[in-house]
Structure 1
Amino acid sequence: MDQLKIRPTDHDDLDPLLDLYRHLDAEDTRPTPRQAAESFDRFLRYPGSAIFLGEVDGLPACSCTLVVIPNLTRGGRPYGLIENVVTHARFRQRGYGKAILDAATEAAWREDCYKVMLMTGSKTPATLAFYAGAGFEQSKTGFQKRRLPARKEP
């Protein structure tokens, strides 16, 4: 594996991050710079939450978002929700996706989360195997209501 450096994002990372998200869904509507900055500022108000960016030689290779959610069960321990998991097409199959998920999970454990969870709309066996290989157990049933259509799988 080339040297992957993982760190939380800041405002200077917004444009490269939005470019990286094109590898998640090339058809997704990109927010304006102002919208992105305002959303990022709101996001930073969630203590313990972070958008992690993995870089190789200064280039964005992968990312995922961790939201730490306060909780009144499990002794008041929070839980983590991971979203927007993406690896740039040119950096896939190198272990970077697992590494970024491990970084988000470790951050959740430092915040005393009792669990981390993620959902995928993918039914592709390779995608499901990737999440299982990263240590995630397919053990719950998810339901959702959507205002935007789900991403199309390749």
Structure 2
Amino acid sequence: MSDLQIRPATSADIAAIVAMLADDTLGAQRESPDDLTPYAAAFERLAGDPNQHLVVAERGGRVVGTLQLTVIPGLSLRGSSRALIEAVRVHADERASGLGTQFIEWAIDESRRQGCQLVQLTSNASRTDAHRFYERLGFEASHVGFKLQL
């Protein structure tokens, strides 16, 4: 695993990121890898926001994972910032390799470096394997989440 590099995503990574986002039952219903235009626009918004950290894991020059870390300043928790981990994906042929653990550990370390007091994430209710993974890494299912599609 020593050849693994976690680095900021670039616009050249968009196609690989979107392919990973689309490579599961849920993602296949909501992602469109054939038209990268909206993703390129979103990437520009992310790149311009210092609280957004879109990163990729690269091995041997190939993008094999991605996640987005958002730092959210707040008043609660005595004015603490919190980190939100979103869109965690590992390429199908890298699953069960330890990459997911390295990725989440990177996100936790970066959250500490950014001064966050809490790291949170959401996971679709149907992703039971992911839930076990996050619990194994010390996350607790402490809240009930709600979403409203707009």
TM-score class, shorter-chain normalisation, is 0.7 to 0.9
Q: In structure 2, do the counterparts of structure 1 residues 118 and 91 end up closer, same or farther at CA, with 3 Å as the change threshold?
A: same
Q: Which has the higher helix share?
A: 2
What's the counterpart of residue 152 of structure 1?
none
Q: Give distance in 2, aligned partners of 1:127 and 1:112.
A: 26
Amino acid at match of 1:52: V
Q: Deviations over 1:5-37 (max 9, x none)?
A: 111112221122122222242333327443222
Q: Deviations over 1:65-122 (max 9, x none)?
A: 1111121222322111111111111110011111111112211111111111111113
What's the % identity of the aligned pairs?
29
What's the counterpart of residue 27 of structure 1?
29
Query: Does 2:72 align with 1:69?
Result: yes
What's the counterpart of residue 131 of structure 1?
134
Q: Give distance in 1, aligned partners of 2:47 and 2:73.
A: 15
What's the counterpart of residue 85 of structure 1?
88
How much does 1:124 deviate?
Answer: 4.5
Query: Does 2:101 align with 1:98?
Result: yes
What's the counterpart of residue 17 of structure 1?
17
Amino acid at match of 2:28: A
What's the counterpart of residue 151 of structure 1?
none
Q: Could you list the runs of 5+ residues in structure 1 that have no partner in the other structure?
A: 148-154
Q: Deviations over 1:31-52 (max 9, x none)?
A: 7443222211211233232112
Query: Does 2:29 align with 1:40?
Result: no
Contact 1:78/1:114, CA 8 A, preserved across alignment: yes
What's the counterpart of residue 57 of structure 1?
60
Q: Give distance in 2, aligned partners of 1:58 and 1:82.
A: 24
Amino acid at match of 1:42: R
RMSD (Å), alpha carbons: 2.0
Q: Could you list the runs of 5+ residues in structure 2 that have no partner in the other structure?
A: none
> Structure with the greater relative contact order (CA < 8 A, sep ≥ 6): 1 or 2?
1
Contact 1:51/1:66, CA 8 A, preserved across alignment: yes
Runs of 4+ in 1 over 6 A off after TM superposition: none
